[in-house]
Amino acid sequence: RIVYVNGEFLPEEEAKVSIFDRGFLMADGVYEVTSVLDGKLVDYDGHLTRLERSLAELDMPEPDGMDALLEIHRELVSRNNLKEGCVYLQITRGPADRDFLYPETPKPTLVLFTLAMTLRRSPKAEKGLRVISIDDLRWGRRDIKTVQLLYPSMGKMMAKHAGADDAWMVENGHVTEGTSNNAYIVTQDGTIVTRQLSHDILHGITRAAVLRFAREAQIKVEERPFTLDEAKAASEAFITSATTFVTGVVEIDGVQLGDGTPGPVSRRLREIYLEEAAKQAV
Give yes or no for residue 200 binding ligand PLP (CB under 6 A): no
Give yes or no for residue 89 binding ligand PLP (CB under 6 A): no
End-to-end CA distance of the chain: 22
Nearer to ligand PLP, 241 or 247 (CB): 241
Q: What does the alpha-carbon distance between residue 187 and residue 192 come to, in Å, rounded to a whole number?
A: 7
Nearer to ligand PLP, 95 or 155 (CB): 155
Which of 124, 127, 145, 279 is flagged as catalytic? 145
Q: Which residues contact 57 (CB under 8 A, 6 or more apart)?
A: 141, 143, 144
Window 229 to 258, contacts with ligand PLP (CB under 6 A): 240-242
Window 22 to 41, contacts with ligand PLP (CB under 6 A): 33
Count of residues in contact with ligand PLP, rule CB under 6 A = 13
**48, 60, 89, 202: which one contacts ligand PLP (CB under 6 A)?**
202
Nearer to ligand PLP, 96 or 265 (CB): 265
Compute the 3-state secondary structure of the chain and give helix, strand, coil in percent, each to the nearest 5.
30, 30, 40
The 3-state secondary structure of 142-156, one letter per residue: CCCCECCCHHHHHHH
Of 15-23, 124-132, 203-211, 254-262, the window that binds ligand PLP (rule: CB under 6 A) is 203-211
Q: What does the alpha-carbon distance between residue 134 and residue 8 come to, in Å, rounded to a whole number?
A: 41
220 as an active site residue: the answer is: no
**E runs forming strands in 159-218:** 166-171, 174-178, 182-186, 192-194
Nearer to ligand PLP, 94 or 204 (CB): 204
**146, 182, 194, 266: which one contacts ligand PLP (CB under 6 A)?**
182
Give yes or no for residue 80 binding ligand PLP (CB under 6 A): no
| Dihedrals phi, psi of 5, to nearest 5 degrees | -135, 120
Give yes or no for residue 146 binding ligand PLP (CB under 6 A): no
Nearer to ligand PLP, 33 or 116 (CB): 33
Of 95-103, 107-115, 178-186, 229-237, the window that binds ligand PLP (rule: CB under 6 A) is 178-186
Give yes or no for residue 270 binding ligand PLP (CB under 6 A): no
Nearer to ligand PLP, 4 or 168 (CB): 168
Q: In this structure, are residues 248 and 237 in contact, taking their beta carbons and an 8 Å threshold?
A: yes
**What sign does the CA torsion over 236, 177, 84, 128 have?**
negative
Q: How far is the CB of 54 from ligand PLP (least distance, A)?
A: 11
Give yes or no for residue 119 binding ligand PLP (CB under 6 A): no
Q: What does the alpha-carbon distance between residue 191 and residue 132 come to, in Å, rounded to a whole number?
A: 23
Q: What does the alpha-carbon distance between residue 107 and residue 219 come to, in Å, rounded to a whole number?
A: 47
Residues in the chain: 282
Q: How far is the CB of 206 from ligand PLP (least distance, A)?
A: 3
The letter for the amino acid at 146 is: T
Task: Give the binding site for ligand PLP (CB under 6 A).
Answer: 33, 177, 180-182, 202, 204-207, 240-242
Q: Give the catalytic positions in this structure.
A: 145
